[in-house]
C-alpha cells in the first residue's frame, strides 16, 4: 500500500509538471474563454427563444444571446480541458510505460491522472464561473461552477481516452472538436429549434448544460441532470481508459524464454570462464545459451581481425 501511494504521488507530480508547461493551454484559459463570452453576449441576437430544462420540468423563455452565453461557456471549458488532457496524455505515453516497467502501479498512475483531471476541471470551471456574471446574471453561482466542472471532467476523460486509443494526434484533435461542436449545437435553441428533444440526453454535456442553465435562470436545482449523464459518461471513460492504459503500458519484450521455462523467472544464472592449459577458454553456465562476442584488434600491419560470435549451450570450448 505504501508503494501504491508513492506511485500515486509520482503520477500526480509529473502530470502537473506536464500541464504547467503547456503554455498554449494557459493562454486559451486566460484569453479564449472571456473572448468567446464577449462575442456571444454582444454579437448574438437578443430575440427570445425557448429552452426546456427537463431536469426541473421548466420551460424557459430567455434572450438568445443570454442562453448562448451559458451553452458556449460549457463548450469552451470542455474544449480547453479535453485538449489539455489529450496533449498531456500523448506526451507522457512513453514515460508512463517506463514508470510501469520500473514497478509503479498502473492503477496508481491512472488514479493520479484522474486527480489531476479533477483539479484542472475545478480550476478552469471556477475561472469561467467567475467570468459569466460579467456578461450574464447567474442566480446560483456555486451550482453553475458544479455544472461546468462536471462537463469539463467528462470531456477531459474523453480527451484522455482518445489519446490512449488513437495513434494519430491530428485525428484525436479533430474528433474532440467535432464531438464538442455537435454537442453544443444540438442543445442551443438558436441553432436547433428542437433542443428539448429527449434523444439529446445521450450527449456528453447534456447534464452539464441542463444544470448550468438551471443555475443561471432559475432557483431550482437540477441535481439529477448534474449527477446522471456526466456520471455515466465519466465512468465509461474511466473503464475504457484503464483498459487502453494497461494495453499501452504493457511489456513489449519477447516472452518466449519465460513461456518455455517458467521456472527461469526465479532462477539465477551463473557463467564461468575457465582458462584451458592450451590457451583456450572453457565457458560453463547454469542455464540457457551463452553468446560470446569478442573483437581482437591486431596491431601488426594495422589490420583489424574480428572473431565470429559463437553460441555455446551449458558448456563449451573456444580455441
pLDDT in tens, 259-270: 455 554 455 556
**Do 25 and 84 form a contact (C-beta atoms < 8 A)?**
yes
Alpha-carbon gap, residue 240 to 244, rounded angstroms: 6
Residue reference for cell 502537473 = 16
Q: Which three cell numbers stand for residue 147?
A: 455544472
Q: What's residue 145's pLDDT? A: 93
Q: What's residue 97's pLDDT? A: 81
The answer for residues whose C-beta is within 8 angstroms of residue 209's C-beta and 6 or more apart is: 70, 71, 74, 147, 151, 184, 187
Residue reference for cell 428533444 = 197
Q: Which three cell numbers stand for residue 169?
A: 494526434
Q: What's residue 270's pLDDT? A: 63
Q: What's residue 261's pLDDT? A: 52
C-alpha pair distances (Å), 205 with each of 81, 179, 209, 211, 231: 13, 10, 6, 10, 11
Spatial CA neighbour of 156 closest among 127, 197, 195, 123:
123
Spatial CA neighbour of 134 closest among 50, 208, 73:
73
Q: Which of left, alpha, beta for 75 (phi over 0: left; psi -120 to 50: alpha)?
A: alpha
What stretches in the chain show pLDDT beneath 70? Answer: 194-197, 251-273, 276, 279, 281, 283-319
Q: What stretch of H or E contains 283?
A: strand 281-292
C-alpha pair distances (Å), 23 with each of 31, 42, 124, 152: 12, 29, 14, 19
Alpha-carbon gap, residue 96 to 181, rounded angstroms: 31
Amino acid at each position: 500500500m505504501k508503494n501504491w501511494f508513492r506511485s500515486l504521488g509520482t503520477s500526480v507530480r509529473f502530470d502537473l509538471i506536464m500541464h504547467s508547461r503547456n503554455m498554449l493551454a494557459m493562454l486559451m484559459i486566460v484569453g479564449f474563454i472571456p473572448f468567446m463570452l464577449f462575442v456571444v453576449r454582444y454579437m448574438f441576437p437578443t430575440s427570445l427563444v425557448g429552452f426546456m430544462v427537463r431536469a426541473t420540468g421548466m420551460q424557459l423563455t430567455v434572450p438568445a444571446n443570454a442562453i448562448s452565453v451559458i451553452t458556449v461557456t460549457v463548450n469552451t471549458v470542455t474544449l480547453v480541458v479535453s485538449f489539455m488532457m489529450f496533449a498531456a496524455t500523448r506526451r507522457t505515453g512513453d514515460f508512463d510505460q517506463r514508470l510501469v516497467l520500473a514497478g509503479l502501479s498502473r492503477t496508481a498512475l491512472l488514479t493520479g491522472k484522474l486527480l489531476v483531471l479533477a483539479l484542472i476541471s475545478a480550476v478552469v470551471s471556477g475561472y469561467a464561473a467567475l467570468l459569466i456574471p460579467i456578461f450574464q446574471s447567474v442566480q446560483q453561482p456555486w451550482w453553475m461552477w458544479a455544472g461546468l466542472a462536471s462537463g469539463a471532467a467528462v470531456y477531459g476523460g474523453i480527451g484522455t481516452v482518445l489519446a490512449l486509443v488513437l495513434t494519430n494526434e491530428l485525428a484525436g484533435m479533430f474528433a474532440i472538436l467535432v464531438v464538442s461542436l455537435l454537442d453544443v449545437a444540438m442543445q442551443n435553441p438558436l441553432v436547433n429549434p428542437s433542443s428539448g428533444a429527449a434523444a439529446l440526453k445521450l450527449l456528453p454535456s447534456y447534464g452539464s448544460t441542463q444544470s448550468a442553465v438551471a443555475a443561471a435562470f432559475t432557483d431550482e436545482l437540477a441535481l439529477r441532470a448534474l449527477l446522471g449523464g456526466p456520471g455515466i459518461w465519466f465512468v465509461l471513460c474511466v473503464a475504457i481508459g484503464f483498459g487502453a492504459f494497461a494495453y499501452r503500458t504493457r511489456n513489449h519484450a519477447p516472452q518466449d524464454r519465460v513461456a518455455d521455462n517458467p521456472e527461469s523467472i526465479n532462477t539465477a544464472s551463473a557463467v564461468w570462464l575457465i582458462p584451458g592449459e592450451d590457451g583456450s577458454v572453457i565457458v560453463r553456465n547454469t542455464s540457457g545459451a551463452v553468446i560470446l562476442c569478442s573483437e581482437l584488434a591486431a596491431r601488426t600491419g594495422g589490420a583489424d581481425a574480428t572473431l565470429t560470435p559463437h553460441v555455446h549451450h551449458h558448456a563449451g570450448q573456444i580455441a
